[in-house]
């Protein structure tokens, strides 16, 4: 290991140690013990130990909580699926296969017409039946309230009769099945008072909301008339603990029973199989960096390519965060052309050459290159709650300085406003790139010119044309070939910098059963969760 690698690796390990010690030694950062709706302290379960109430209860830590519980707004539906409150017509299983949910069968009539049969006997949490008309009105509500609704489901018309729903799209939509499984389209009862959905949505899942404190927790109880059979577990408290270290500490102390996305440095705390169960799998989540291509320094593709060659993804994956070094937006677990694209290896000599060609030199000997009197110094923003982002950002800062690029790190609790405002140079984050089981969704929303989440201002007309072709191409292999071609354009343009494909986990106490990790991380709990 070279001097540089030793220096930054020791610095990162020291930082991780400090974070852990701070988390363990600072009570203010710990989630206080809380009681469920019946007054039981955390950890009391079906055995009834310590009290007369025999009802079973779990405390679950969520690493993210939306702005409210209305699934039609923003990304709030992801919370409802994780908490087993809401359901879509269809969903993905552990092998990423589309399986029935509220729709028990479906078929494509022609390129723009789809038929869904709504499962008979399903009721909302208020007892009202789930009919095709109720589904139609719920989908219409999501489309009207969420800016990504119409582009996700370009619906021309919907016809409901009994339990039969017919959807006609404005254009051929080969990705409709995956898109309609997105939690934006959780089915809710629009005949209820929808103004209350921010705190008490009326959905169809095995658990229903009994209490909600914004930015803190959700209280739920089992829905006795759930179509799949009532859950064994009676109640849950779902606590919002976004900091990795605090979440691990809460699990270790017994304040919570189940936690997902436990940080890599805390995993050794939970290796005792008599006390904990760990389910860790490769996820579909990609850790990456947005380049703000409208920035004067980053508008030069040679600078973006140099930065891309100047970081060691293999080291990040093997030493810092686990998982796999990233090549493009989609992991090797997805059949979207990973093996057909060429990414960026760690080649600092090539990075240096590109910066020389772009006219950047270190004329004053301070270690940072400049051009026409302007320093090649950039700001990287990141989320302060995620350990993996912090350690990778520190490594990037050290490695880029070796090629003469200055990198200032700025952490925020929430990056959304900063990203959408364009007030940044680089932004480190991660997204689940396989949420619909198809490449079209991510390419549409993150890479297409003017797309909602193309916050870096990237634009390539050839890429836009390829994405449009995906909409009407129903042949699976041809779709994957188009996706590979699209990814290579993105990589050649160095529009984004893909770092690692991160693993994902759920850790629970050993008496908790049914805590299963899904590749798509907007699934977490279901009716099978219970305590023994």
> Where does the pLDDT of residue 43 fall: very low under 50, low under 70, confident under 90, or very high at 90 and above?
very low
Q: Which two tokens stand for residue 12?
A: 């990162």
Is residue 422 pLDDT above 90, yes or no? no
Say what the pLDDT of residue 514 is: 94
Is residue 520 pLDDT above 80, yes or no? yes
CATH architecture of 57-275+510-531: 3-Layer(aba) Sandwich (3.40)
Say what the pLDDT of residue 495 is: 95
Q: Mean of the pLDDT values across residues 120-146?
A: 98
Q: Which two tokens stand for residue 53?
A: 């109430």
Q: Mean of the pLDDT values across residues 266-283?
A: 91
User: Helix (H, G, I), strand (E, B), or coil: what is residue 107?
Assistant: strand
Q: Which residues pair with 512 in a beta bridge?
A: 531
User: Helix (H, G, I), strand (E, B), or coil: what is residue 519?
Assistant: coil
Q: Mean of the pLDDT values across residues 494-521?
A: 92
Q: Mean of the pLDDT values across residues 231-248?
A: 94
Across the chain, what does the average pLDDT equal? 89
* pLDDT digits 0-9 by tens, 393-412: 999 999 999 999 999 999 99
53 or 530, higher pLDDT: 530
> Where does the pLDDT of residue 53 fall: very low under 50, low under 70, confident under 90, or very high at 90 and above?
low
Say what the pLDDT of residue 234 is: 98
Q: What proportion of the chain, given as a percentage, has pLDDT over 90?
A: 73
Is residue 372 pLDDT above 60, yes or no? yes
Boundaries of every domain in the chain: 57-275+510-531, 282-503
CA-closest candidate to residue 141, choices 209, 192, 208: 192
Say what the pLDDT of residue 13 is: 42
Instruction: Go through 11-27 and write b for each residue having 16 or more CB atoms within 10 A of its CB, e for each that does not.
Output: ebeeebeebbeebbeee
* DSSP state for residue 321 in the 8-state scheme: I
Q: Which residues contact 139 (CB under 8 A, 6 or more apart)?
A: 153, 155, 158, 180, 185, 187
* pLDDT digits 0-9 by tens, 438-494: 899 999 999 999 998 899 999 999 999 999 999 889 998 999 999 999 999 999 999
174 or 54, higher pLDDT: 174
Q: Mean of the pLDDT values across residues 56-71?
A: 96
Q: Which two tokens stand for residue 386?
A: 């995620």
Whether residue 521 contacts residue 430, with contact meaning beta carbons closer than 8 Å, is answered with no
> Where does the pLDDT of residue 281 fall: very low under 50, low under 70, confident under 90, or very high at 90 and above?
confident
* pLDDT digits 0-9 by tens, 189-209: 999 999 999 999 999 999 999
Q: Mean of the pLDDT values across residues 175-180?
A: 93
Q: Mean of the pLDDT values across residues 271-291?
A: 92
Q: Mean of the pLDDT values across residues 167-187?
A: 94
Q: What is the DSSP string of 243-258?
A: -HHHHHHHHHHTS-SE
Q: Which of 156-160, 253-257, 264-268, 337-341 has the lowest mean pLDDT?
A: 264-268
Taking domain 282-503, whether its CATH number is 3.10.105.10 is answered by yes
- Asked whether the whole model's pTM tops 0.95, one would answer no
290 or 31, higher pLDDT: 290
Residue with tokens 């209305």: 70
Q: What is the DSSP string of 460-508?
A: -HHHHHHHHHHHH---HHHHHHHHHHHHHHHHHTT-EEEEEEEEEEEEE
């Amino acid at each position: 290991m070279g001097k540089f690698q030793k220096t930054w690796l020791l610095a990162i390990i020291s930082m991780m140690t400090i974070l852990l010690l701070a988390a363990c030694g600072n009570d203010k950062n710990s989630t206080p013990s809380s009681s469920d709706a019946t007054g039981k302290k955390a950890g009391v379960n079906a055995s009834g130990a310590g009290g007369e109430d025999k009802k079973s209860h779990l405390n679950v830590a969520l690493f993210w909580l939306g702005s409210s519980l209305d699934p039609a707004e923003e990304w709030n539906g992801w919370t409802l699926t994780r908490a087993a409150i809401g359901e879509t017509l269809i969903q993905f299983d552990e092998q990423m296969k589309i399986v029935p949910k509220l729709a028990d069968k479906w078929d494509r009539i022609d390129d723009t017409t789809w038929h869904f049969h709504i499962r008979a006997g399903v009721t909302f949490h208020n007892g009202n039946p789930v009919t095709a008309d109720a589904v139609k009105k719920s989908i219409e509500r999501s489309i009207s309230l969420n800016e990504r609704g119409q582009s996700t489901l370009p619906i021309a018309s919907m016809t409901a009769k009994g339990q039969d729903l017919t959807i006609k799209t404005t254009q051929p939509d080969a990705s409709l099945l995956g898109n309609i499984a997105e939690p934006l389209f959780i089915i809710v009862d629009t005949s209820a008072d929808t103004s209350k959905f921010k705190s008490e949505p009326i959905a169809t899942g095995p658990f229903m909301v009994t209490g909600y404190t914004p930015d803190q927790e959700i209280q739920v109880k089992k829905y006795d008339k759930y179509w799949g059979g009532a859950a064994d577990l009676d109640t849950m408290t779902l606590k919002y603990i976004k900091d990795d270290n605090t979440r691990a500490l809460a699990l270790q102390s017994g304040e919570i029973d189940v936690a997902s996305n436990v940080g890599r440095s805390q995993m050794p705390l939970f290796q005792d199989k008599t006390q904990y169960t760990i389910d860790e799998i490769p996820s579909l989540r990609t850790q990456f960096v947005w380049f703000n291509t409208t920035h004067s320094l980053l508008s030069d593709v040679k600078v973006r390519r140099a930065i891309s060659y100047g970081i060691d993804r293999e080291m990040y994956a093997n030493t810092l965060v686990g998982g796999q070094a990233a090549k493009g937006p989609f992991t090797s677990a997805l059949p979207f052309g990973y093996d057909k694209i060429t990414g960026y290896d760690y080649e600092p000599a090539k990075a240096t050459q590109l910066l020389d060609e772009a006219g950047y030199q270190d004329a004053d000997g301070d270690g940072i290159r400049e051009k026409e009197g302007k320093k090649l110094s950039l700001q990287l923003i990141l989320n302060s709650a995620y350990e993996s982002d912090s350690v990778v950002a520190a490594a990037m800062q050290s490695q880029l300085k070796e090629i003469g690029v200055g990198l200032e790190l700025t952490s925020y609790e929430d990056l959304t406003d900063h990203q959408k405002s364009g007030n940044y140079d680089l932004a480190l984050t991660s997204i689940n790139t396989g949420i619909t089981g198809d490449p079209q969704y991510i390419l549409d929303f993150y890479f297409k010119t003017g797309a909602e989440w193309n916050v870096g201002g990237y634009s390539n007309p050839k890429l836009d044309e390829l994405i449009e072709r995906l909409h009407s191409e129903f042949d699976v292999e041809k779709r994957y070939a188009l996706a590979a071609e699209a990814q290579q354009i993105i990589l050649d343009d160095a529009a984004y910098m893909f770092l690692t494909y991160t693993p994902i986990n759920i850790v629970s106490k050993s008496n908790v059963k049914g805590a299963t990790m899904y590749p798509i991380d907007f699934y977490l709990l279901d009716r099978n969760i219970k305590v023994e």
